[in-house]
Amino acid sequence: MNSQEIYQQRIENVLDALLEKGEEPLCESMRYAVLGGGKRIRPLLVYASGEALGVNKDLLDAPAAAIELIHAYSLIHDDLPCMDDDDLRRGKATVHLAFDEATAVLAGDALQTLAFGILSQPLHGICATNQLKILQILTASSGAAGMVKGQMIDLYAAGEILTEDQLATMHNHKTGALIKASVLMPTYCFEGNADNLTTKREKLAEYADAIGLAFQVRDDIIDIQSDTETLGKQQGSDSASDKPTYPSILGMDAAKEKLFQLHEKALSSLSSFGREADLLRQIAEFIVKRIA
């Protein structure tokens, strides 16, 4: 296994151990939603950022799990009939179809609580003040000023014509905020004052901003390219469709150029790091080159 696969297996085990096993629909639906699927990009970023900073892996499990639980809860709620009304997620029936809508609402609610719960437990090796910093990062990035704000903008953006700035604002909140949190939480996985990390934290934040936006540009490109294959439409023919995308605003060539520039920016942000940041570099490459 390469190191991405090792960490993917690790987070799967951590999540499996955290989620109560039981026959009640609440336990079952929470496990169903979280386990056995997903690229685990956010936990991978937690471990990769921790590697770049020399943090003991054991200290990264809690923030890695917490950010994936937040992501998982947001997907359950996003898939609800009143939101995106999706039937499939990661190749399986969405939670409200596999169980029912009420269970999906509550499973999402409980996963959010669990995320903050595991970061509130004593984490040996991280002082309480830094644990609160980690909680501040995660609450700020996932709440009304972060991810949820992005989901609201997205809801109201369908059919609207957005500028590139408005599109970036939506994505910075909807996906960028959690990606940035994944990279920044490990900068507080220490005992005591971590002031010597200030410069590294700034560089990691730049890296996160670049890959966060790249993630979305690539998503938009994949959407159109898979349409081309499956529907026989021309690339870029989604420009007039309901949801604003980078190719629809910029055109496909400029969107690809933007993706290239964001990749360059992500790599240059890491230039002061040595081999310890290689996993961060690999993830950046994965994000801009992935096909699904």
Binding site for its own copies (CB under 8 A): 20, 24-27, 30, 73-74, 77, 80, 82-83, 96, 100-103, 105-106, 108-110, 112-114, 116-117, 120-122, 127-129, 131-132, 135-136, 139-140, 142-145, 148-149, 151-152, 155-156
CB of 15 to its own copies, least distance (A): 14
CA-CA distances (angstroms) from residue 205 to 10, 133, 197? 25, 15, 12
Q: Which is nearer to its own copies, 3 or 169 (CB)?
A: 169
Q: Give CA–CA dist 270/210, Å, rounded.
A: 11
E-state strands within 11-119: 88-89, 92-93
CB atoms within 10 A of CB 87: 11
The secondary structure element, H or E, covering residue 212 is helix 198-231
The answer to whether the CB of 147 falls within 8 A of the CB of 141 is: yes
Q: Which is nearer to its own copies, 120 or 226 (CB)?
A: 120
CB of 207 to its own copies, least distance (A): 24
CB of 137 to its own copies, least distance (A): 9
CB of 197 to its own copies, least distance (A): 18
Write out the two tokens for 174. 């909807």
Q: Which is nearer to its own copies, 135 or 224 (CB)?
A: 135
Q: Give CA–CA dist 251/254, Å, rounded.
A: 6
Give me the numbers of helices (H) and strands (E) for the chain, helices first please: 14, 2
Q: Which is nearer to its own copies, 27 or 197 (CB)?
A: 27
Q: Which is nearer to its own copies, 133 or 258 (CB)?
A: 133
CB of 79 to its own copies, least distance (A): 11
